[in-house]
Amino acid sequence: MPNPIKEALLNRGWAGQTLSRSETVDRINPLIHQHIELNHHYGAAVRYCDDARVVDVLERLQKTARTDVGKLSETVLSCGGTPYNGTDLSPEDFALEGSLGDLFGELHGLETAFNDALADELDLEHQMRTRGVLQAIKSNSEDRLTALKALQRRIGESA
């Protein structure tokens, strides 16, 4: 868990033990895998939904999410590792069934699980650059959660 006293005293610098580069690779690659799967679920939602305004929102959310995968991959590369690339996953493996409400419920659950995984990582002593990347991606995930809640309300009202 990060030390708030060190953070307050050192502001942007860091002192003490942080995770090694290899540990960082081992911790970030599962996040990349989880995020790529989440992105495939967003893609399935875009294919499934027929409301143009909802699709537009989902596509904007997905664009940011794809960028975030790139940030995580760059972090792994900068630590000398090979980032997970998702080539073993196929978009067809992420077909969604049920109502549109079920779809957004599932997306919300997956996004919440990803956000929780990011929070767990932020509790560790990552290097400052990695912490910054994780915080930015967590913020983007929280934005997606807010948007998904709004979309769920919109779908509930129109049903």
Give the CATH number of domain 20-158; options: 3.40.190.290, 1.20.1260.10, 3.40.50.150, 3.40.980.10. 1.20.1260.10
Of 100 and 81, the one with more pLDDT: 81
Percent of the chain at pLDDT exceeding 70: 88
Domain extent listing, the chain: 20-158
Most confident of 42-46, 87-91, 142-146, 153-157: 142-146
Six-digit token pair at 110? 């997956």
Are residues 44 and 94 in contact, defined by beta-carbon separation less than 8 angstroms?
A: yes
Please state the pTM of the whole predicted model. 0.85
Query: What pLDDT, in 10s, does the model give residues 92-116?
Result: 888 777 777 888 888 999 999 999 9
First CA to last CA distance, the chain: 45
